[in-house]
Chain A
């Protein structure tokens, strides 16, 4: 039920609407819950609304951090 799909914001329209690209398909969603979003950014879409603006670089940071933790454990 809480499934979310990532989509790229193509165009912002009036009344909090935006056109997004989801895997090559265009859809209209509401960006009322992410008012700061800009075209080109990726958002997580759930039930026709952008729920959050996505930040891929944060995932890389987590991975690097955990690899550090593991390396440290091996040294001990």
Chain B
């Protein structure tokens, strides 16, 4: 495999044209930073990070709304660990927990269901966040809760869809992207069709790529190969997991439970039909409605350039706060908090980060 990686790397290095490729998956951001691929590539091939981390693209108003819900209601909030330290305007979930709020970290929404069963006298809320990879798990959990007639379980949905954000990236003249390294696990659910549409509409190749170093090199090679031949097709490199038509059972589950609505993304603004809200049939399990949580205004964090980082307009190291006022220990913006955020990945793996600006 080492040998095959070298073959791929040499083939990529033989390309002379300037190429910018963007990945839109936090797991790719981490995998690329950890593998050192960015440093191995010649300077004419650039790898940018896009809006691929669900925690990072959550708007400040939504984070404030969750904190508001926890402050005003006697609930058990279950969340994936990534959300704990994300700074809201005045507080974070971690701070709320230290003040006595009952906030617990879970690995699966099914764990939240178990907590609801074990605490029938308490209101149990799961903080639903994630792209198409995670949404089916939450949809299936809601369906299970409905079948069991659990009345004390609800979900606060911050779920988002990836293709509408890619549409924004491709249509923004300020963002220079020649091809897309498409997310492996999101695509296991969606299949390749959304990328076929994008590739045809914007004339840019899209390759669904896995997460091992050799997967990423293969994906980059497939993109470069298309670009050299002036092709713009959607292809799958990660074929051991992703099928062309995706996982229809998972898509059906999403569609039975959720419906697409316009939502605000950090760095990208309002995007039509890019967020998922519980359908009217499930509205009794919609925590936003159950606890009457209003939409909160967007209050930007002073000096934080997460928005520009999330769209690949600047590199994490170009932010004035990077590595100085903003570090993983004392993060200012979400891209430094989430371990899959671009800033956290750069901070951890790119050498010479301290005091080099």
Residues of A bordering B, CB below 8 Å: 1-4, 30, 32-35, 44, 46-49, 51-52, 54-59, 61-63, 66-67, 69-70, 73
Within 8 A of A (CB), among B1-36: 4, 7-8, 11, 25-27
Starting from the known contacts A4-B188, A47-B80, A51-B189, 18 additional A-B residue pairs (CB-CB under 8 Å) come to A1-B55, A1-B129, A1-B130, A1-B131, A1-B340, A2-B134, A2-B184, A2-B186, A4-B185, A32-B249, A35-B249, A47-B137, A48-B108, A51-B133, A52-B247, A66-B8, A66-B221, A70-B11
Task: Flag if B137 contacts A33 (CB, 8 Å).
Answer: yes
| Complex interface: chain B residues within 8 A of A46 (CB) | 133-134, 137, 185
Q: Indicate if the CB atoms of A70 and B7 lie closer than 8 Å.
A: yes
Q: Are B240 and A55 closer than 8 Å at their CB atoms?
A: yes
**B247 neighbours in A (Cβ, 8 Å):** 33-34, 51-52
Q: Which residues of A contact B138 (CB under 8 A)?
A: 47
10 contacts between A and B (CB under 8 A): A1-B54, A2-B186, A4-B241, A32-B253, A44-B241, A46-B133, A47-B80, A49-B136, A54-B240, A61-B239
- Could you tell me the distance in whole angstroms from the C-beta of B300 to the nearest C-beta in chain A? 23
Which residues in A have their C-beta under 8 angstroms from that of B222?
66
The docked-state distance in angstroms from the alpha carbon of A16 to that of B30 is 32
Main secondary structure of the interface of B (DSSP, over half): helix
- Shortest Cβ distance from B66 into chain A, in angstroms? 16
Q: Chain B contact residues (Cβ within 8 angstroms of A): what range?
A: 35 or more
Q: Is the CB of B107 within 8 A of A47?
A: yes
- Name B178-225 residues within 8 Å CB distance of A: 183-186, 188-189, 210, 218, 221-222, 225
Are B340's CB and A62's CB within 8 A?
A: no
Give chain B nearest CB distance to A23 CB in angstroms. 16
Assess the B137–A34 pair: CB atoms within 8 A: no
Bound CA–CA A67/B218 (angstroms): 10
Residues of A within 8 A of B242 (CB): 52
Which of B25, B54, B250 has the largest number of chain A CB atoms within 10 A?
B250
Q: Is the CB of B218 within 8 A of A1?
A: no
Chain A residues with CB under 8 Å of B25's CB are 2
Q: Which residue of A lies closest to B8 (CB)?
A: A66
Whole-angstrom distance from the CB of B244 to the nearest CB of chain A? 11
Contact A30:B218 (CB < 8 A) given known A1-B82, A52-B241, A55-B239: no
Nearest residue in A to B140 (C-beta to C-beta)? A32
**Nearest opposing residue in chain A for B246, CB measure:** A52
Give the 9 A-B CB pairs with smallest separation, nearest first.
Answer: A48-B108, A58-B239, A2-B133, A59-B240, A47-B137, A2-B185, A49-B137, A52-B188, A33-B250
